[in-house]
């Protein structure tokens, strides 16, 4: 028996399992249809190239762009780097100022830090108590030197959804390029690039039931053309912006995942939000001194981030060894420091260290939610009985 067979998976923000239909679509390109999409002299290459272009159309259909506006990458981190560094280097003659937020993914924050070391100026916008950026904050920071705004669409830790479409109007009014790391939103909420007013958007497949190691960058086709300095050199693929042999099986899987998401997104969102709300209300009814992190309504359907006061998140996760959960971003879960997202929301560090992220998704069942509720309640109570801090904060009923 596989060690995973008896474990409930509730870490859908870290990654998602491959949908069986995605696996089925990929299999021919992992076996018999093994051609290089750049080999145009024979049928093996033609089949691979046709599959790539079909997938490009499928991805484009999910975000309402033209297929020519998509560049395939290795994933969201590369897409974020390509968008931010690509704009910064290509337009440094126009300005050196970038606006981003304090709750961005490290793929954005670390990229901006590198650019700061190279002389660029970066404004890190604070967030409100729900982890949200307000459009007026963005407009107040724009200067004649601002060349790029990069803000996350839906936060990977707390699920809060930023008002991207309102910020998009501000960016357009001031003639500033607008990029969003939208990997948690794609396939879960409407991500129409025209409605959002985005010039660039980062996507990845593995957050939406597709394979790992494949992503895309949307680059709006407009006049004058948006120029990006490439980070990789050595071929003519993807308009020379991202050269290299194309990951045909991954691209095919990405396309199929987008096709599925387009048809399932609305009903899936309703079902997952019902399960999330059941988990939310049951935990809050049965455990005291717990707090919701993130916006109570304007959040992803499958996200529930809770601080359990007097219970260290790592201890809680260790006790729940039959449930796959996270204490924060998958990219930083090996670290013991408090989440930068929660600290940016002005959450006390003690509470930030008690936060657990529940991530529900396509294959989460009601029976699993019931089990998680009981297990979490039992383990929180057990750990608090061992905590002198909790005992000292109980109400005096004598």
Written in H, E and C, the secondary structure of 86-134 is HHHHHCCCCCCEEEEECCCCHHHHHHHHHHHHCCCEEEEECCCCCCCCC
Helix, strand or coil, per DSSP, at residue 214: coil
Strands 323-324 and 290-293: unpaired
- Known catalytic residue: 141? no
Residue written as tokens 């029976």? Answer: 367
Residue 347 neighbours by CB under 8 Å, 6+ apart? 293, 307, 355
Burial 150-160 (b: 16+ CB within 10 A, else e): bbbbbbbbbbb
Least Cα distance to 201 among 372, 64, 388 occurs for 64
Nearest-angstrom CA–CA distance, 97 and 148: 7
Q: How many residues does the chain have?
A: 398
Angle at Cα 183 formed by Cα 99 and Cα 298, nearest 5°?
80
Annotated catalytic residue within 65, 141, 258, 331: 331
Residues with catalytic function: 331
């Amino acid at each position: 028996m596989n060690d995973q067979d008896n474990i409930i998976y509730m870490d859908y923000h870290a990654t998602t399992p491959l949908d069986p239909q995605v696996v089925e679509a990929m299999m021919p390109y992992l076996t018999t249809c093994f051609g290089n999409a750049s080999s145009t002299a024979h049928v093996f290459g033609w089949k691979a190239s046709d599959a790539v272009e079909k997938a490009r159309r499928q991805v484009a259909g999910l975000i309402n762009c033209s297929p020519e506006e998509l560049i395939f990458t290795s994933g969201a981190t590369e897409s974020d780097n390509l968008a931010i560094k690509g704009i910064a280097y290509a337009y440094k003659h126009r300005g050196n100022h970038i606006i981003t937020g304090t709750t961005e993914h490290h793929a954005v924050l670390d990229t901006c830090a590198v650019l700061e070391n190279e002389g660029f100026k970066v404004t890190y916008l604070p967030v409100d108590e729900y982890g949200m950026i307000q459009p007026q904050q963005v407009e107040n920071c724009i200067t004649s030197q601002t060349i790029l705004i990069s803000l996350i669409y839906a936060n990977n830790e707390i699920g809060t959804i930023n008002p991207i479409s309102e910020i998009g109007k501000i960016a357009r009014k001031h003639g500033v390029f607008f990029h969003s790391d939208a990997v948690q939103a794609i396939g879960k909420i409407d991500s129409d690039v025209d409605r959002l007013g985005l010039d660039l958007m980062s996507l990845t497949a593995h957050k939406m039931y597709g394979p790992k190691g494949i992503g895309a960058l949307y680059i709006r086709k407009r006049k004058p053309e948006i120029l990006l300095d490439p980070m990789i050199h050595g071929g003519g693929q993807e308009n020379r912006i991202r050269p290299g042999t194309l990951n045909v099986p991954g691209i095919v899987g990405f396309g199929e995942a987008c096709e599925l998401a387009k048809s399932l997104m609305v009903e899936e969102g309703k079902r997952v939000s019902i399960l999330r709300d059941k988990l939310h209300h049951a935990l809050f009814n049965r455990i005291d001194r717990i707090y919701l992190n993130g916006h109570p309504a304007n959040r992803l359907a499958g996200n529930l981030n809770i601080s359990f006061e007097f219970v260290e998140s790592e201890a809680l996760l260790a006790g729940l060894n039959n449930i796959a959960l996270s204490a924060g971003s998958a990219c930083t879960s090996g670290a013991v420091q408090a989440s930068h997202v929660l600290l940016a929301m002005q959450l006390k560090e003690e509470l930030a260290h008690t936060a657990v992220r529940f991530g529900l998704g396509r294959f989460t069942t009601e029976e699993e939610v019931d089990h998680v509720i009981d297990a979490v309640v039992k383990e929180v109570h057990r750990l608090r009985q061992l905590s002198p801090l909790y005992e000292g904060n109980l109400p005096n009923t004598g």
